[in-house]
Every structure is written in structure tokens, then in C-alpha cells.
């Protein structure tokens, strides 16, 4: 093969625009993406864009991966709701997160040195970074946003009688156990899925969006699962609902959604514009991906999906208005525009520009603070 030959272009079908940003009253830019919501039997409630394309869901998979530990240790007293929540978390790096992870490691007879997630990342929360730096601190492995998941993986290694060293490897028993759960719940062979190294070192798996949504739907409605797995799902959901600040951190999207809905919606964001969510009251699982990886756009798109599904109360919509329709401010703090959800046109709808900005009913604007 001629190494100087031009690589063939990658061709992607256009996903619909899900989020638009305005400057003044004019659209300045937009984000395309795909989203799907399913029930536990795989029936679609909405599907926008290419939901078959393999996509790295990143940390949005953490609630599904956490089931392996809960099934391995159904009665272990050390597996408290706080630790379960941290095992699903992409935490902000505050002492409330770091101290709990360090205590968990100590209880296992381990230390931060046993975490494979690295020590190069500062906390996700900018205020936590400033506080750590002001105290003369430097980030350690427990500050990594995935440290809670890694602590849980170490506990799983102990439960399996497997070596703790190398637990992040694709073929390690810990990762194989997590992939077995994913395979069962998503109906996709996770061990055969395309993969690459996560930012924290574990295998990042590329799965179709529909498969991620199906897995989340079965967390939302576990009635068809085996009793042991159903009990694990119920523990998982209860822990996330009881400790939303440990799932992410104060002010962050997952924490705010769980708090505002009192656990009626349990969301989990992943890097590069991913979000997965479950709505237990309705037995719904959701997965979405913003093509360009935009975090802000993913949060707005989650609001669009939840609004379209009709699962938010008026009070919840009001409480989350600044998250799901945030204002864009300039350096002086003045409003310069807005980030708006865009409802994709129906396939049979004649819509020349394909943009229907602000799908919320008129009451939404009345609820804006």
C-alpha cells in the first residue's frame, strides 16, 4: 500500500440538528446528534438520527457496568449506597468524593496506588480545582472523575478472587464480568464490540445507541430480569436517587436532574456528548450522542428528549430550565443568546430548513426564571 496515498474520506449520514445556539435572535451555530428512547422490550418511543452506528458511550455506561459488582456482592455490608453511587459516578473531585473513595480503598486494604486511572487529571469542577490548588494540593488518582468506578472494580476483583493488578485490561476477569452484564442487557456481544482505551484506562466500548437505551430501559423496568439481577438493579437505582451529589457533583447536570426529579429520572453523562438515562416510573431507557461531542448540547438534548416523552412535571421543567435552555452570556455577564432544543422534523413532514427551534409549549417561557 502506498503510504502517501490519500485516505478514503469517512462518510457519515447527516444526523438531525438537535440543538441551536443563537446570538441575539439569530441562529449562529448548531449541533447534530442522534437519540433514542425504548421500553424494556425494545419498543421505540422516539428515534432521531442514526441510532445503529456504533458509538463510544463512555461513562454513560457506568450504571450498567456497576451491576457486575452488585451481583457479585449481593449482601456485602461494605457495599453501602454511597459507594454504589460512587461506582456509577463521574465525580467532581470535591473532598466529599475523594475522602469517601480513599476510605473505601483503605477498607479494602488498598490505596490510591492501586487505582489505574492515573493522577494527571485535575477535578472536573473548576471550583474544586481552585480549592485544591489554593490549599497547595496536587491531584491524585482519587481526584480522577472515574476513581469511584475504579474502586468498585478493585472490589469486584477481590470478590472474584482475581488479581487486583491489571483490572483495567480488556481480558481481565473484572472487565469480562462487566461486559457479560452489558451483553445480557443490551443484546450486543460486548466482548466483540469495537473498543479503545478510555481516558481512565479501562476499555471504552462502541455500541449502537439503541443497545445503550435498551440496557437503560431494563434498569428502568427490571421485572423480566432474574431475581438476583433485579435486586441489584433496585439497589443501584436507590443509591443513585439517594446520593445524586456523589453521582456527579453540586451544580452538575446529572446531580441536578436527579435532585429536581427526586430520582424519577436517573441520568448519567459520558464524555464527548453522551448521555444515558432511565425513567423507572415509565420503564423508559434513553441514549443520545451529540456528533461533535459538545457537553452543553448533550444537556440541552436530554431536556428535549424528556420533554418530548412528557415525563417532566411543570415544577421539574421550571427547576431545570436554565440547564435545558441555558442563556449564552458575554464577558460582561450580559445575555448574548440562548441554547435551544430543536425538534427534528417527522420523516413525512415537509420542512424545508429542517429546523423547528424551541419545541416547548408557551408555558415553558412562563416558567423561565
Q: What is the pLDDT of residues 121-179, one digit of tens each?
A: 999 999 999 999 999 999 999 999 999 999 999 999 999 999 999 999 999 999 999 99
Tens digits of residue pLDDT in 197-233: 999 999 999 999 999 999 999 999 999 999 999 999 9
**Residue 345 in this model has a pLDDT that exceeds 90:** no
Residue 205 counted as domain residue: yes
Pair 325, 339: CB distance under 8 Å:
yes
**Residue 358 in this model has a pLDDT that exceeds 80:** no
Tell me the DSSP string of 209-266.
HHHHHHHHHHHH--TTS-HHHHHHHHHHHHHHHH-HHHHS-TTSHHHHHHHHTTTSSE
Find, among 58, 49, 149, 72, the residue nearest to 105 by Cα.
149
Bridge-based pairing of strands 17-23 and 335-341 is antiparallel
Cell of 84: 454504589
Find, among 101, 33, 84, the residue nearest to 293 by Cα.
33
Q: Apex CA 356: angle with CA 367 and CA 258, to 5°?
A: 45
Sequence-distant (6+) residues with CB within 8 A of 54 are 193, 194, 206, 207, 208
pLDDT band at 66 (very low <50, low <70, confident <90, very high): very high
**Cα-Cα-Cα-Cα dihedral sign, residues 93, 95, 100, 101:** positive
pLDDT band at 365 (very low <50, low <70, confident <90, very high): very low
Longest Cα–Cα distance in the chain: 63
- CA 64 – CA 216 distance, rounded (Å): 7
Residue 4 counted as domain residue: no
Find, among 267, 236, 255, the residue nearest to 74 by Cα.
236
**Residue 368 in this model has a pLDDT that exceeds 70:** no
Residue 293 counted as domain residue: yes
Total domain count, the chain: 1
Residue 337 counted as domain residue: yes
Say which CATH number the domain at 160 has.
Answer: 3.40.710
Return the bridge partners of 284, or none: 39, 279
Q: What's the mean pLDDT when you consider all of the chain?
A: 92
Find, among 57, 50, 44, the residue nearest to 12 by Cα.
50
pLDDT confidence of residue 8: 61
pLDDT confidence of residue 346: 76
Domain carrying residue 225: 17-367
Q: Three-state DSSP class for 336?
A: strand
Residue 3 counted as domain residue: no
Sequence-distant (6+) residues with CB within 8 A of 99 are none
Residue 300 counted as domain residue: yes
Residues in the chain: 369
pLDDT confidence of residue 3: 46
Q: Three-state DSSP class for 335?
A: strand
**Residue 347 in this model has a pLDDT that exceeds 90:** no
Q: Three-state DSSP class for 86?
A: helix
Find, among 368, 157, 361, 128, the residue nearest to 251 by Cα.
128
- CA 363 – CA 366 distance, rounded (Å): 5
Residue 355 counted as domain residue: yes
Helix (H) or strand (E) holding 186: helix 173-186
Find, among 11, 28, 12, 16, the residue nearest to 353 by Cα.
16
Query: For 112-129, what is the mean pLDDT?
Result: 94
Tell me the residue ranges of DSSP E strands in the chain.
17-23, 26-39, 44-48, 54-56, 195-197, 203-208, 266-270, 274-279, 284-290, 327-329, 335-341
Between residues 307 and 367, the one the model is more confident about:
307
Residue 8 counted as domain residue: no
Amino acid at each position: 500500500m502506498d503510504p502517501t496515498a490519500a485516505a478514503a474520506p469517512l462518510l457519515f449520514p447527516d444526523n438531525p440538528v438537535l440543538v441551536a445556539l443563537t446570538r441575539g435572535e439569530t441562529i449562529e451555530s448548531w449541533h447534530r446528534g442522534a437519540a433514542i428512547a425504548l421500553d424494556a422490550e425494545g419498543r421505540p418511543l422516539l428515534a432521531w438520527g442514526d441510532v445503529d452506528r456504533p458509538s463510544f458511550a463512555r461513562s454513560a455506561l457506568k450504571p450498567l457496568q456497576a451491576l457486575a459488582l452488585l451481583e457479585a456482592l449481593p449482601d456485602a455490608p461494605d457495599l453501602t449506597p454511597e459507594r454504589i453511587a460512587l461506582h456509577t459516578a463521574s465525580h467532581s473531585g470535591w473532598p466529599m468524593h475523594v475522602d469517601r473513595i480513599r476510605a473505601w480503598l483503605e477498607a479494602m486494604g488498598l490505596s490510591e496506588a492501586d487505582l489505574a486511572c492515573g493522577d494527571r487529571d485535575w477535578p472536573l469542577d473548576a471550583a474544586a480545582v481552585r480549592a485544591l490548588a489554593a490549599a497547595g494540593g496536587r491531584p491524585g488518582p482519587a481526584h480522577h472523575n472515574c476513581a469511584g468506578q475504579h474502586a468498585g472494580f478493585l472490589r469486584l476483583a477481590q470478590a472474584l478472587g482475581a488479581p487486583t493488578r491489571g483490572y483495567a485490561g480488556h481480558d481481565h476477569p473484572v472487565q469480562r464480568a462487566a461486559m457479560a452484564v452489558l451483553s445480557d442487557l443490551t443484546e450486543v456481544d460486548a466482548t466483540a464490540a469495537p473498543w479503545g482505551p478510555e481516558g481512565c484506562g479501562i476499555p471504552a466500548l462502541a455500541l449502537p445507541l439503541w443497545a445503550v437505551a435498551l440496557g437503560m430501559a431494563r434498569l428502568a423496568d427490571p421485572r423480566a430480569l432474574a431475581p438476583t439481577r433485579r435486586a441489584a438493579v433496585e439497589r443501584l437505582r436507590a443509591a443513585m436517587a439517594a446520593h445524586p451529589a456523589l453521582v456527579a457533583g453540586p451544580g452538575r447536570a446529572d446531580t441536578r436532574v436527579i435532585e429536581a426529579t427526586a430520582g424519577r429520572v436517573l441520568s448519567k453523562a459520558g464524555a464527548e456528548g453522551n448521555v444515558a438515562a432511565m425513567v423507572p416510573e415509565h420503564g423508559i431507557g434513553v441514549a443520545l450522542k451529540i456528533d461533535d461531542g459538545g457537553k452543553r448540547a448533550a444537556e440541552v438534548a436530554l431536556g428535549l428528549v424528556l420533554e418530548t416523552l412528557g415525563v417532566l412535571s411543570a415544577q421539574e421543567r421550571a427547576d431545570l430550565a436554565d440547564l435545558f435552555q441555558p442563556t449564552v452570556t458575554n464577558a460582561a455577564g450580559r445575555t448574548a443568546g440562548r441554547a435551544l432544543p430543536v425538534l427534528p422534523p417527522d420523516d413525512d413532514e415537509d420542512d424545508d430548513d429542517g429546523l423547528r427551534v424551541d419545541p416547548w409549549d408557551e408555558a415553558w417561557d412562563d416558567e423561565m426564571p
